[in-house]
């Protein structure tokens, strides 16, 4: 009876996390005209996987045929994954570039998989992003195809995913901006042998933003010091957990910048309305520092 109960709980957890999940999702009506939907084949998942890409002003101009651009990978919020979940940010990105407030960059909106931005129960959202999507984008579009031309950003679940991935793979990026992440849930995973809840257990249990910060500080930061920008609104339910997580980073000696957005709830849209240009320029500044005369 106990085994049967555990199996039912496991099945319920998987169903709860993956209900309605698709690796390829249609573009919604009214999507920004600068966005394009594409797919690539994931060998690790044996399936086609969708992504959405924003190509900056001038990308297709004949005069720029040999020009290469830095790229920011944007990790969506919510579960399960979908490449279309955060594409509303494209309005603010395009407005800033069209107005000349930031130089042209490519943005890629990622499908995070069944349990967003994790490898879980054979659904490898993190691995396909790192091992397959990034190389595919570099081969398919005119990116600056090296870490110095690559940024990482995300909000909510994407903020959590950004933080985990930046600590595991700082060698792949020039900048990382975790925004509005629920680091209290990451701490729960750390303190409960991987259990975020009764329905979801993360394996390994150290795959969280608290333990990975320790590992980064001890093993990777000296060789691959990654510029980090933490962004959160004061009315976000994740505000206090972000303050506690930033204190954790400070205690570990991990440097970071921060933007605290006054009177702002848990909303990627509102954060970008107020500080989107600042976030974009954070990436720009680090691209310029890393690339020098190459950009």
Report the C-alpha gap between 220 and 253 in whole angstroms.
Answer: 13
Of 191, 167, 166, 187, nearest to 176 (Cα)?
166
> Who's near 192: CB < 8 A, 6+ residues apart?
205
Domains of the chain: 2-294 (3.40.50.1820)
- 10 Å Cβ neighbour count for 73? 26
Q: Which two tokens stand for residue 262?
A: 């006054």
- Please tell me the predicted confidence (pLDDT) of residue 15: 39
- Please tell me the predicted confidence (pLDDT) of residue 151: 99
Q: Which two tokens stand for residue 41?
A: 């084949």
- Please tell me the predicted confidence (pLDDT) of residue 20: 87
Residue corresponding to tokens 């510029």: 227
- Please tell me the predicted confidence (pLDDT) of residue 232: 99
Question: What distance, in Å, lies between the first and last C-alpha atoms of the chain?
Answer: 63
- Please tell me the predicted confidence (pLDDT) of residue 171: 99
Vertex 251 angle, CA 277 and 222, to 5°: 75
- Please tell me the predicted confidence (pLDDT) of residue 17: 52
- Please tell me the predicted confidence (pLDDT) of residue 14: 43
Give the CA dihedral 83, 84, 89, 93, nearest 10 degrees. Answer: 70
- Cα 254 to its chain centre, rounded Å, is 19
- Please tell me the predicted confidence (pLDDT) of residue 18: 63
pTM of the model: 0.93
DSSP annotation string for 5-18: HHHHHHHHHHHHHH
pLDDT along the chain (295 residues), means of 10: 37 52 96 98 98 98 98 97 97 98 98 95 96 99 98 98 99 99 98 93 96 99 99 99 99 99 98 98 98 80
DSSP annotation string for 121-168: TTEEHHHIIIIIIHHHHHHHS-B--SGGGEEEEEETHHHHHHHHHHHH
For residue range 149-191, list pLDDT tens digits in order: 999 999 999 999 999 999 999 999 999 999 999 999 999 999 9
Q: Which two tokens stand for residue 229?
A: 């920008």
């Amino acid at each position: 009876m106990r085994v049967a109960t555990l199996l039912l709980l496991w099945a319920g957890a998987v169903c709860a996390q993956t209900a309605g999940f698709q690796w390829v999702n249609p573009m919604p009506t009214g999507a920004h005209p600068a966005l394009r939907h594409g797919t690539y084949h994931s060998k690790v998942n044996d399936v086609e996987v969708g992504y959405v890409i924003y190509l900056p002003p001038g990308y297709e101009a004949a005069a720029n045929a040999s020009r290469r651009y830095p790229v920011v990978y944007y990790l969506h919020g919510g579960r399960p994954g979908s490449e279309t979940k955060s594409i509303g940010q494209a309005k603010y990105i395009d407005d800033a570039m069209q107005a000349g407030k930031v130089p042209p960059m490519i943005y890629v909106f990622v499908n995070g998989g069944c349990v967003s931005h994790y490898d879980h129960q054979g659904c490898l959202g993190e691995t396909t992003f790192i091992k397959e999507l990034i190389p595919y984008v570099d081969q398919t579009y005119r990116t600056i195809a090296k870490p110095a031309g690559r940024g990482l950003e995300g909000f909510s679940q994407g903020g959590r995913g950004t933080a985990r991935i930046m600590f595991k793979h700082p060698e792949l990026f020039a900048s990382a901006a975790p925004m509005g992440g629920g680091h209290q849930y990451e701490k729960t995973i750390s303190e409960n042998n991987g259990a975020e809840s009764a329905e979801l257990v993360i394996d390994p249990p150290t795959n969280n933003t608290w333990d990975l910060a320790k590992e980064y500080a001890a093993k990777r930061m000296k060789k691959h010091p990654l510029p980090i920008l933490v962004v959160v609104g004061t009315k976000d339910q994740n505000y206090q957990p972000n303050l506690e997580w930033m204190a954790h980073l400070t205690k570990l000696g991990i440097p970071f910048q921060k933007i605290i957005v006054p009177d702002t709830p848990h909303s990627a849209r509102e954060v970008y309305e107020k500080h989107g240009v600042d976030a974009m320029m954070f990436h720009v500044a680090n691209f310029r520092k890393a690339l020098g005369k190459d950009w």
